[in-house]
Amino acid sequence: MFFVLSDASAQKEVQQRPNIIHIMTDDHSYQAISAYGHPLSVQAPTPNLDRLASEGMLFRQAFVENSLSTPSRACLMTGLYSHQSGQRRLDAGIDTAHVFVSEILKENGYETGVVGKWHMRCEPKGFDYYHILWDQGEYYNPGFRSKKTNGKYVKEKGYVTNLITDHAIEFLEERDRNKPFCLFVHHKAPHRNWMPDTKYVDLYEEVEFPYPATFKDDYATRGEAARKQQMSISKDLSLAYDLKVRELGDRPGLKNDWSIRSMEGSLNRMDSADRKKWLEAYEPRNRKFIEQNLQGDELLKWKYQRYIKDYMRCIKSVDEEVGRLLAYLEKEGLMDNTIIVYTSDQGFYMGEHGWFDKRFMYEESFRTPLIIRYPTRIKAGTVSDALVQNIDYAPTFLDMAGIDKPDFMVGTSLAPLFKNKGKAPSGWRKYLYYHYYDYPAVHNVRRHDGIRDSRYKLIHFYGNGINYNELYDLKEDSNELHNLYGNPKYDKVAARLQKELDKIRTEQKVDEF
């Protein structure tokens, strides 16, 4: 299938077409980017990401269609909802008959590359260059596969965030300089289990990060899904694998525990110098923790602080490496004509509702950070509150490249927002659709779909013996503590949202709910 340049672009033979760099992290919450002004990031600023925001557009209402890694990546590549691409869950599912945006760009003269996390069970399609991790990838001395490795993953020395930037720059160095390029830089960090670069193992150790207002949420008005999830900091964070207390492996019954084996596996990948530095940082803290024998609230607070500190240490490396990539672009004179996107494959819980992880349609995982810098079209320092979604990235890239969007893509180009200084133009979407399918699976989050407008959210949980709705007024209850479904005062709101939800299900041919 071949998609041709639009007339608007074809007539600009002299003007260079824009380059595209799409930087996407894994599980990076908007709360952990200081440009968003969240209290968590005050003590762990992200100056390079903040620079992108100050020189571009910060999106405050950007969302995903399915808060899960592989479906989110399929949305990016296809411009489709999960049920349309076939990638509903983490495992196999992507329909490779679908055309990827990389294929369209390549067919229209772009040099294309992807580095880092691919995480779809298909070959990277439409790429001149790829250098991808195995599955989730490892933090230390990870294995990469490229066109030069004959299908094998070859172990490379270094920290994964730094290595991904190395290979991004390698693509830029080796590219055909007579072509525009599109490069996807997909970081592993800060995915679980939040293993920092050894140079940052002491960073933030003396900081006490703030606790979210909903840290001790009791889910009083919510249904079974919120109460029976398995992603709580209190109960479900592993002391060994997640929180690095490997000394507990000496206790009876834990020697062969999966978390002990996984932690040891990560450490065994390190060279002796890095392993020594890592152990010298964590072991004294771990011994102190064990000696204290913390219980109740004190134990919960310790778990939260260990989790957040390691998470933010990983973010430090991400921010630093974004800065290194920007420095390369500046040196090469590429900043003015390159669209730089920074986002995550979904949001993440930083202790809100007592949770880590994602999956739910509640705001912290549904909402994702999004920053776009392109000085030719975007006024520096602009902010957008328009409703946007990750199905919009592929149409945006095609639009900015002057390529007609194919009819099968359901996403919408964000280019009108650039022209309108972030404000939603007439006819912009008023509703977002969400659908999570991955149950039964890790973290025990039930299947649900739902709809959100600028103020209200309706969620429908279904399947395996449950069938109920939740309704939230995000203006009056931004923390989503008070389920209003069934409250007579909100019957009209619920009916309106249900009507729109039914409409989207019909129009997009959703086949389960």
Q: What is the mean pLDDT of each run of 10 residues along the chain (513 residues)?
A: 50 68 98 97 96 98 98 98 97 92 98 97 96 96 97 97 98 97 98 98 98 98 97 95 82 63 90 96 96 96 98 98 98 98 98 98 98 98 98 98 97 98 97 98 98 98 98 98 98 98 98 97
Sign of CA dihedral 278, 281, 287, 293: negative
Which helix (H) or strand (E) segment holds residue 70: the answer is helix 69-78
CATH of 447-507, one of 3.30.420.10, 3.30.2290.10, 3.30.1120.10, 3.40.50.360: 3.30.1120.10
Q: What is the pLDDT of residues 449-487, one digit of tens each?
A: 999 999 999 999 999 999 999 999 999 999 999 999 999
| Residues 119/90, Cβ–Cβ less than 8 Å | no
Q: pTM value?
A: 0.96
Strand 370-373 with 338-344, pairing:
antiparallel
Dihedral of CA atoms 386, 392, 395, 399 in degrees, nearest 10, equals 30
According to the model, what pLDDT value does residue 313 have?
98
Question: Which amino acid is residue 96, in one-letter code?
Answer: T
Rg (alpha carbons) of the chain, rounded to whole number: 23
Whether omega before 464 lies within 30 degrees of 0, making that bond cis, reads no
**Fold identical between 7-194+307-422 and 447-507?**
no
CATH class of 7-194+307-422: alpha beta
Q: Where are the domains of the chain?
A: 7-194+307-422, 447-507
**In angstroms, how far is the first alpha carbon of the chain from the final one?**
33
According to the model, what pLDDT value does residue 2 have?
47
